[in-house]
Structure 1
Amino acid sequence: MRFLIAVTLCLSPAAFAGRPFTPEELLATRRLDDPQISPDGKLVAFTVRQKSLEANRDLKDVWIVPFQGGSARQFTRDGRSEHPRWSPDGKKILVVGQRAGQDQAQLWLYDLEAGGDARQVTSLTFGADLGTFSPDGKWIAYTSEVHPGCSGTTAEVDSCIKKRLEEQQASKVSARIIDHVFARHWTEWKDGKRTHVFVQPAAGGPARDLTPGDSDWPTWRLGGGDDLAFTADGNEIIVSAKPAQREAWSTNGDLWAIPVGGGAPKNLTADNHGDDARPRPSPDGRYLAWLSQARDGYESDQWKLKLRDLRTGRVSVIGDFDDDASAFVWRRDSKGIVASVLKRGRFYLNTVSLDGKVARFSESATGDDFDVAPDGSVAVVVSGMARPPELARQAAGVAPQPVTRFNAEQYAGIDMPGAPTDLWIDGKDGSKVHSFVLQPANLSGRAPLLVLIHGGPQGAWEDQWGMRWNEAAFAAQGYVVLAVNPHGSTGYGHKYEEEISRDWGGLAYDDILRSVDAAEKLPFVEPGRTCAAGASYGGYMVDWIAGHTDRFRCLVSHDGVYDIAAMYGSTEELWFPEFEMGGPPWEVPETYRKWSPSTYAKNFRTPTLVVQGELDFRVPVEQGLGMFTALQRQGVESRLLYFPDEGHWVLKPRNSQLWYHTVFDWIRSHSAPRKQANR
């Protein structure tokens, strides 16, 4: 459904500091994202997030820092602001923020020349998001949820929405009548709501819904970027969307050009049967670049960078990296693009010319969250498995240089693990299989092994900071962490990635066992005390392991797929099981049976912690309950950690704290040395 950074960027806590890296320290970490360089290249606006146990939510504010270095300045102070966007003249900043007393986030416009005072741009029942300026600064576009049938100006749309909500509340009926499969998505019931694109004058005035009707504009994508953009002349907005009638089983999204003054959308990519996303017109208006997949129904098809010459209409692929092109940004002179690509667990920036010549921007690994300055350098968020994120400046051909040190003081007193090392083994089919190995800080002697299995299955462990499955947090508990990237992982060539489909428990399972064999032979690993944990597809693999081997001391299955046919009947994105299994279950029932862990439940013997969120509509709740029931019914030691208010990911700080401590306790109690019986 994912290393070397300059020494100057590494936070180097004093050796043997003695203060452990705990879940509470992890939650207190400040995370930086979404850097936006000002038009003159002098400043960078970005978002800083921090989990608050007291408020039980993420605190987020916009900050500004001089790009060449200097003190960062907190720009907003409400703890609910993000997504800063500069006006073309650099005199204003548009922010998505939720003030005290507001139920939803709205758009706020800050005038820097007037002292930074904010003017509320929107006041919508369902809020506003993804605010952006037109290149001439005359228009602001954004998205908001609406009820289809409510059209007109924002005032008319909002009045219609409020009337419907009042009628629903007055009815005292909470039942839902559903006429199509895609009635709920990710963590929420849609309840008839759709995301639409609005545009309004930047100076103030009524807004228009440019996308009326029963469809989402843009289509929601997991981990997707801003899927709407103004053309260079400001006359049109390009949006990525797909028709509602096939949204549950098709991935064929298209790019649509919509006149700012209103009118029918024009399909720009009708000849491509796969997904088209992240439209980015060149600053000079000559070209349109975007990410494109070739095959319908395959959400993990390779993302290639495409270019359309808007004068000639010619379309070409200018970025085929044999791996997914990720984020990309135009150079300010429109002569090329900078794109990030994941290679062997690390992100590298690449320069892409208009005729398709690709070169490394730098041999130093960085990140995929960046912006390009007028001089061609980039502002990029850099981090590592054991290094919290900071903002850096990087010029072509050199290592990134630090711009911020938000986490330096906190981490100076923490005994952190060192950078991960690489472990390569030969797979059953001759492929090279890569894992990251992360040791506990100041390890002397041997430590038990903890195997982490990522989700996807088309995903990867990356040498990047994470909050949900933080490798350093596990290592800090005294384990050698083995983060395996088996067949199906991204960043090792698309052939390697595709070999997971219709083989979920095959080569990938073998890769993991072979990697464990190699890791248990390392001089700092104590064999025989190994546990394994994973989420999503990683949870599936844990369930699969439970039915196929007894070699692990314990297992942790988080939102794992237990019965694939049952999941097909309750998940929201049908294209996923249909492609991965080769069709719906009534067409290929044996494939679903063969690769379902439930088929092998009679072999379960290993103590297993099952974690499940009630609001997980991707891998619905019956999957975790089914796994737990099978374990309990057979008398296998097991425990269920159930979150009624979480989805596929555990995001609320208090829940995250409980998750880490519960998982740590389970692994600790089962990986401890076994007591010798008295003789």
Structure 2
Amino acid sequence: MADTPPTTPATTPTSTPFADLGAFAALPRLSGLALSADGTRLVTTVATLTPDATRWRGALWEVDPAGQRPARRLTRSAAAESSPVFAPDGTLLFTSARPDPEARGDDDAPAALWALPPAGEARVVGTRPGGVSEPLVARTGGRVVVTSATLPGSDAAEEGPTSDAARRAARKEKKVSAVLHARVPVRYWDADLGPDEPRFLAATLPGAEPAAGERDLLTWTDLTPAPGLRHHEASSALTPDGAELVTTEVVAQPRGDAYVRLVAISTADGSVRVLADDPQREFGAVAVSPDGRSVAALAESRSTPVQPPAVRLVLVALDGSGVREVVPEREFWHAQPQWGPGSDELFLSADDRGGAPVFRVDVAGGEVVRLTGDRGAYSSLQVSPDGAHVYAVRSAVDAPPAVVRLDARAADQQPQPLPGPAPAVPLPGTLTEVSATAADGSDLRAWLALPAGASADAPAPLLLWVHGGPLGSWNAWSWRWNPWLAVARGYAVLLPDPGLSTGYGAEFLARGWGAWGAEPYTDLMTVTDAALEREDLDAARTAAMGGSFGGYMANWIAGHTDRFRAVVTHASLWSLGHFGATTDAPWYWAREMTPQMVAANDPSAHAASITSPVLVIHGDKDYRVPIGEGLALWWALNEHWDGDPEEMPHRFLYYPDENHWVLTPQHSTLWYETVFAFLATHVHGVEFQVPDLLR
């Protein structure tokens, strides 16, 4: 007889926002920080649900660095605001496509650069036909640089037949969308690249607000008139005086390969100096020192079929005299270094055993001090001008993002929360850890989110969730894959960091490199076995889930064990040989995916062994893991089902206009509704309930 879910607190939704998908979607979502030059103003971005619940819309909020005043909202528009940065005089710059009250209305206008003075109204100061993004402002002098998508062959003129506006109008009039590519890449995540290309534009901010009836739109200097895709997804920073833009540059190589070097571009005439060029490593996370002499950056070594990349913190001399590793032999995964006020120390957060703590690094000697003593994940670090405090956005697996303050001198401290715009939310359970030992002796660990009321008398069913990447970790809050939604429905959620996870040292990561179906898989099974030794978990009712690389692992799991009652695979790799040539960055994956690696680790080779019911989820606009992977997997499940077609247990949730993550609120809600309905059927044995909007 089919199981039915027991009526215990472990499976009864609790009175938290996680019990209601609509309430969860409506929770404010905080991200990013900007600190004024004098350290008195701190600004963050908060996304909230639009009235029709079809998208999240960002607004800028000010948080008191002293922690005395409540947060206050600075902007409000239907178009949203983003990318805040302070000018030296305290003016807050940001980008938005909101209507310009001093210009003719255009509902399709691209994002412009806006300026909000300390007292007064926001006004447009910079526009471009392709919009502007990622503003940077020098510490002195008012020099500003933005990125703007511009059609090839366009000149710097605002008008005329060769202007960007004229060329865009011609394509629009003829309804032309075609792009002629000369090399890879042609797509990125969910965007078709071209025909426009990212250019850097420079200008000097006006010194005062214009008189009544006057406008002071910036006059841009095009620093990169023919860039191609050299600066696509660049990491950039201005020198303190604004004379140069330090940025990353993609260097094309034979056979479709590429690497990333570091250059300095004059903001006066666009001339370029190469600062660091090494085909065996790629630079990113750029930060220029306050004295203008050095650039802090991350250098990621080039991987090989048998060697994963390593990430080092380096110092690059701005005079081009060399590159030095600041902390030899120590890796800083997913870090973004920030300078202290004296150019003698750096602050950064990096993956570390299920967290992303904040570290202070002495530039001269390489000494590292861990400032935070918790397992939180910190990001968007901002250092006060006196060097006394570090402000950050802190999240954790059990805590959504919030603004906090740290003592820049104290080790192993607890953060001080600042009054913010997003209130804390009660969780429907608790978070603990599970540890185990792999067959090769490696220490393994995982987070375990437990529902309230789970006990030996009422054990909770277990969901194994595998993270993506693969070079990643379960160490921060996730809005997209949120375990507490499952916990509110009575499930326990296991979040392991198997081989290939970051924050556990180079040797641990290397265990799974080129061997995805080996140690990562056995690590997952070992940690699952360890978790199921608990009396408050039900070993007879389990399921496995994953997205991206986690989806690969879900497919591999489905083909290698029948222990799970259901498998959910989202945006997953299915046929490695096909994936490598169709993904948006084939040159990167080719370094690891040799024919031998593909043959040994291809989930599609084990399609006939799949017996667990599988829910396939894929978006057509996913270019990192193209839709062909989901379609091929769906066909394989159909091809190998030899029972009654009306009783096939597998399902395919397809999104024609979503990408790798499924980003719109209504589609995200349907995602969870479908997943929970699928799990209820196969974990609890109840009849499958198709969500109303999918009937």
Pair in the same fold by TM > 0.5: yes
Residues 53 and 654, structure 1, Cα contact 8 Å, conserved in 2: no
- Indicate the residue corresponding to 2:4 in structure 1: none
- Indicate the residue corresponding to 1:442 in structure 2: 453
Residues 16 and 442, structure 1, Cα contact 8 Å, conserved in 2: no
Once the two structures are superposed, residues 218-265 of structure 1 have per-residue CA deviations (whole angstroms, 9 ceiling, x without a partner) of 3327xxxxx111112321111111135669632x21111111111331
Give 3-state SS (helix, strand or coil) of 2:48's partner. strand
Once the two structures are superposed, residues 423-453 of structure 1 have per-residue CA deviations (whole angstroms, 9 ceiling, x without a partner) of 1111122111111111012334211000000
* Alignment counterpart, residue 288 of structure 2, candidates 255, 258, 281: 281
Pair 1:218 & 2:231 matched: yes
Give 3-state SS (helix, strand or coil) of 1:549's partner. coil
1:77 deviation in Å? 0.6
* Alignment counterpart, residue 163 of structure 1, candidates 166, 169, 173: 166
Once the two structures are superposed, residues 451-501 of structure 1 have per-residue CA deviations (whole angstroms, 9 ceiling, x without a partner) of 000111111111x21111011112112111101111000111122112222
Residues 328 and 338, structure 1, Cα contact 8 Å, conserved in 2: yes
Pair 18,498 (structure 1): closer, same or farther in 2 beyond 3 Å: closer
Residues 299 and 312, structure 2, Cα contact 8 Å, conserved in 1: yes
Q: Partner letter of residue 401 of structure 1?
A: Q
Q: Which blocks of at least 5 consecutive residues in structure 2 are unaligned?
A: 1-12, 100-106, 207-215, 642-647, 688-695
Q: Supply the distance in 1 between the matched residues of 2:482 and 2:196 (Cα, whole angstroms).
A: 35
Map 1:5-404 → 2, pairs under 5 A: 17=15, 21-52=19-50, 54-69=52-67, 70-79=69-78, 80-90=80-90, 92-100=91-99, 101-112=107-118, 115-153=119-157, 155=158, 160-172=163-175, 174-203=177-206, 204=216, 205-216=218-229, 218-220=231-233, 227-244=235-252, 249-250=257-258, 252-271=259-278, 273-295=280-302, 301-310=309-318, 313-320=321-328, 321-324=330-333, 326-355=335-364, 356-366=366-376, 367-375=378-386, 376-395=388-407, 396-397=409-410, 398-404=413-419
User: Larger deviation: 493-502 or 653-662?
Assistant: 493-502
Pair 246,152 (structure 1): closer, same or farther in 2 beyond 3 Å: farther
Pair 1:518 & 2:525 matched: no
Residues 306 and 316, structure 1, Cα contact 8 Å, conserved in 2: yes
Pair 107,300 (structure 1): closer, same or farther in 2 beyond 3 Å: farther
Once the two structures are superposed, residues 274-319 of structure 1 have per-residue CA deviations (whole angstroms, 9 ceiling, x without a partner) of 1111221111223221111232679972221111344693532113
User: Larger deviation: 440-449 or 124-133?
Assistant: 440-449
Q: Partner letter of residue 598 of structure 1?
A: S
- Indicate the residue corresponding to 1:580 in structure 2: 592
Q: Which blocks of at least 5 consecutive residues in structure 1 are unaligned?
A: 1-14, 222-226, 583-587
Q: Partner letter of residue 553 of structure 2?
A: M
- Indicate the residue corresponding to 2:624 in structure 1: 618
Pair 312,506 (structure 1): closer, same or farther in 2 beyond 3 Å: closer
Q: Supply the distance in 2 between the matched residues of 1:593 and 1:210 (Cα, whole angstroms).
A: 47
* Alignment counterpart, residue 426 of structure 1, candidates 415, 437, 441: 437
Give 3-state SS (helix, strand or coil) of 1:35's partner. strand
Give 3-state SS (helix, strand or coil) of 1:526's partner. strand
Residues 215 and 243, structure 1, Cα contact 8 Å, conserved in 2: no
Structure 1 ranges of 4+ moved more than 6 A = 296-300
- Indicate the residue corresponding to 1:474 in structure 2: 486
Residues 71 and 421, structure 2, Cα contact 8 Å, conserved in 1: no
Pair 108,174 (structure 1): closer, same or farther in 2 beyond 3 Å: closer
Q: Partner letter of residue 608 of structure 1?
A: V
Q: Supply the distance in 1 between the matched residues of 2:674 and 2:255 (Cα, whole angstroms).
A: 37
Q: Supply the distance in 2 between the matched residues of 1:447 and 1:438 (Cα, whole angstroms).
A: 11
Q: Supply the distance in 1 between the matched residues of 2:226 and 2:144 (Cα, whole angstroms).
A: 21
- Indicate the residue corresponding to 1:11 in structure 2: none
- Indicate the residue corresponding to 1:591 in structure 2: 597
Residues 455 and 534, structure 1, Cα contact 8 Å, conserved in 2: yes
Q: What count of residue pairs does the alignment treat as equivalent?
A: 640
Pair 312,560 (structure 1): closer, same or farther in 2 beyond 3 Å: closer
Q: Supply the distance in 2 between the matched residues of 1:44 and 1:187 (Cα, whole angstroms).
A: 32
Once the two structures are superposed, residues 161-204 of structure 1 have per-residue CA deviations (whole angstroms, 9 ceiling, x without a partner) of 33333333343455554443322221121232211111012115
CA RMSD of aligned residues (A): 2.4
Give 3-state SS (helix, strand or coil) of 1:557's partner. strand
1:647 deviation in Å? 1.0
Pair 319,22 (structure 1): closer, same or farther in 2 beyond 3 Å: farther
Pair 431,297 (structure 1): closer, same or farther in 2 beyond 3 Å: closer
User: Larger deviation: 75-84 or 555-564?
Assistant: 75-84
Residues 240 and 256, structure 1, Cα contact 8 Å, conserved in 2: yes
Percentage of pairs with the same residue: 30
Pair 169,285 (structure 1): closer, same or farther in 2 beyond 3 Å: closer
Relative to the length of structure 1, the TM-score reads 0.89
Pair 219,415 (structure 1): closer, same or farther in 2 beyond 3 Å: closer
